Chain A
């Protein structure tokens, strides 16, 4: 047992430190009303595939550690490879980004910038079946097919993961490390006085 003469000291010290927090900046974010801007390289919750630039080499399929990407490829009349079907099992995907790194074209497969697919109501859905914002406020269907999960459009934001050249176009990250201050606020207050 600790000596009795120190009894209560720890409690007082703890209260003092906790009280010191009252004067500090809040770090909590009122999600979903408030959102921090994610990292530009974020590996979000969806894989975006670009039909136009894909050369159907299946490098992404081979690079996937869990086999989440499945491609069906055939040769067309002009002897060129074309993708008949691509499915990404997002339940299986571990979002490691190895498919993006392996892509020889560098632009055919992206990880989305998005991290929250949830909405309060279906009327808040960001995209409808055609991948554009709903005009009548109703998305029609909540469950989307694989084809719709891999749209070839610019509606869903793409992250700059493994694409340093894109980094400039994307918004900078808002960080807790910038928001919270230990001594800086106090210093600034002193200076302003």
Chain B
């Protein structure tokens, strides 16, 4: 005798802690196995791109902080580079180095938060997350020292950065850079070979190479699938061509690889930072830029390697004080589009691990 069974539709989120903010997943289940998933977002929608069209260029810098709020410095940098491209503003060398230092510190802190939350999602309650937040706190303090804020930095300006580094910044940074590899090794020992982590991550949520490319994913999600693509290396911007670093890649494209890529990227960022601190030149921290930015009519798409992938700003200028069109190529949103392919066939508990490994920030998804 066969029993007639129906598929079961349930919602996960938005209140679930593992849905990383205001996000809901409508799952269709066959028993415990996911047969369909529909991500539903838009709860946080703030109309950022439309808002930016009604404000002048300088006022948009604080808006970019609020996109991916775990990597505000990189957002600042990408937007400032886009407007500098429109205005043909030269950025002094010292400012370029300061930007690189800030972006790499931000990458480490974003990965620390990302990996910490990911481990929290798969049930490693608190310990790894608190260890990682301890190190993130030190980086946040460095940002606090430089620009006076701990989350929404608003530090970069067209032509450079708002203020020069304070005198106590470099000693503190050097101390952190000496300690950081030890901490990363500690996470590695604590987590990487843990049986539970291995059982829950190895071979789970595989994103095949071709699909990763076709879904336009970027950052650790793409590199986890084995594709060596990093804008810092492949299309160098700022002064990244002066540093030695590697692009870590995964082999299987599973959840474990994406986690490992993030861990290794932190090591590479420390490597870049050490070189940047050594090479940091003296000079101006901001170039010549007009107070009121009014770019000539034109358009630009400027992309940087964000913590979560390619972060691009498409700005259309019509010669006025405001942008005519302002669009963000947000890596979180685009990486999220590959979620469906990753989770179908896996169980509900695996969904949390897979979703956590994409590392999204909803501020960037619902612009």
Q: Tell whether A pairs with B.
A: yes
Is A65 a contact of B197 with CB atoms below 8 Å? no
Q: Which residues of A contact B109 (CB under 8 A)?
A: none
CA distance A27 to B182 in the complex (A): 17
Using known A-B contacts A9-B193, A94-B152, A176-B141, determine if residue A162 contacts B162 with beta carbons closer than 8 Å.
Answer: yes
**Whose C-beta in chain B lies nearest to the C-beta of A43?**
B148
Q: Which one, B1-9, B12-20, B171-179, B265-273, is touching chain A?
A: B171-179
Which residue from A162, A173, A180, A183 sits with its C-beta under 8 Å from B145?
A: A173
The answer to whether the Cβ of B101 comes within 8 Å of any Cβ in the partner chain is no
- The distance from the CB of A176 to the nearest CB of chain B, in whole angstroms, is 5
The answer to whether the Cβ of B50 comes within 8 Å of any Cβ in the partner chain is no
- The distance from the CB of A160 to the nearest CB of chain B, in whole angstroms, is 8
B151-171 to A contact mask, C-beta < 8 Å, 1/0: 010100000001110101000
Using known A-B contacts A14-B190, A175-B138, determine if residue A7 contacts B195 with beta carbons closer than 8 Å.
Answer: yes
Is B194 a contact of A14 with CB atoms below 8 Å? yes
- The distance from the CB of B124 to the nearest CB of chain A, in whole angstroms, is 9
Q: Which one, B57-65, B215-223, B333-341, is touching chain A?
A: B57-65
The answer to whether the Cβ of A101 comes within 8 Å of any Cβ in the partner chain is yes
The answer to whether the Cβ of B134 comes within 8 Å of any Cβ in the partner chain is yes
Interface residues in A161-185 by Cβ distance below 8 A to B read: 161-162, 164, 167, 172-173, 175-178, 180-183
The answer to whether the Cβ of A111 comes within 8 Å of any Cβ in the partner chain is yes
Main secondary structure of the interface of B (DSSP, over half): helix
Is A41 a contact of B59 with CB atoms below 8 Å? no
The answer to whether the Cβ of A149 comes within 8 Å of any Cβ in the partner chain is no
- The distance from the CB of B64 to the nearest CB of chain A, in whole angstroms, is 11
The answer to whether the Cβ of B279 comes within 8 Å of any Cβ in the partner chain is no
**Whose C-beta in chain A lies nearest to the C-beta of B141?**
A175
The answer to whether the Cβ of B142 comes within 8 Å of any Cβ in the partner chain is yes
CA distance A18 to B202 in the complex (A): 25
CA distance A6 to B59 in the complex (A): 56
Is B162 a contact of A13 with CB atoms below 8 Å? no
The answer to whether the Cβ of A158 comes within 8 Å of any Cβ in the partner chain is no
B178-203 to A contact mask, C-beta < 8 Å, 1/0: 01001100100110011111110010
Which residue from B138, B163, B202 sits with its C-beta under 8 Å from A164?
A: B163
Is A97 a contact of B154 with CB atoms below 8 Å? yes
The answer to whether the Cβ of A32 comes within 8 Å of any Cβ in the partner chain is no
Using known A-B contacts A42-B148, A96-B154, A177-B172, determine if residue A182 contacts B199 with beta carbons closer than 8 Å.
Answer: no
Which residue from A6, A161, A173 sits with its C-beta under 8 Å from B168?
A: A173
- The distance from the CB of A111 to the nearest CB of chain B, in whole angstroms, is 7
Is B179 a contact of A182 with CB atoms below 8 Å? yes
A1-34 to B contact mask, C-beta < 8 Å, 1/0: 1100011111101100110000000010000000
Residue from B62, B183, B202 with most neighbouring chain A CB atoms (10 Å): B62
Which residue from A10, A173, A177 sits with its C-beta under 8 Å from B176?
A: A177
The answer to whether the Cβ of B137 comes within 8 Å of any Cβ in the partner chain is yes
Number of interface residues of A (CB under 8 A): 43
Is A41 a contact of B147 with CB atoms below 8 Å? yes
Q: Which residues of A contact B141 (CB under 8 A)?
A: 39, 173, 175-177
Q: Which residues of A contact B303 (CB under 8 A)?
A: none
- The distance from the CB of A100 to the nearest CB of chain B, in whole angstroms, is 10
Which residue from B58, B127, B137, B202 sits with its C-beta under 8 Å from A176?
A: B137
Task: List 30 A–B pairs whose Cβ atoms lie within 8 Å, in order of A's numbering.
Answer: A2-B195, A2-B198, A6-B193, A9-B193, A11-B194, A13-B194, A17-B190, A18-B127, A41-B145, A41-B146, A41-B166, A42-B144, A42-B148, A63-B58, A65-B55, A65-B63, A94-B62, A94-B152, A96-B62, A96-B152, A98-B62, A98-B154, A161-B148, A164-B164, A172-B168, A176-B134, A177-B176, A178-B175, A180-B134, A181-B179
4 smallest CB-CB distances across A and B, nearest first, come from A10-B194, A41-B148, A65-B59, A96-B62
Chain B residues within 8 Å of A, Cβ to Cβ: 55, 58-63, 127, 134, 137-138, 141-142, 144-149, 152, 154, 162-164, 166, 168, 172, 175-176, 179, 182-183, 186, 189-190, 193-199, 202
**Can you add 18 more A-B contacts, CB < 8 Å, to A101-B162, A178-B175?**
A2-B198, A7-B195, A9-B195, A10-B196, A11-B194, A14-B194, A41-B146, A41-B163, A63-B58, A65-B62, A65-B63, A94-B152, A96-B62, A98-B154, A175-B138, A175-B145, A176-B137, A183-B179
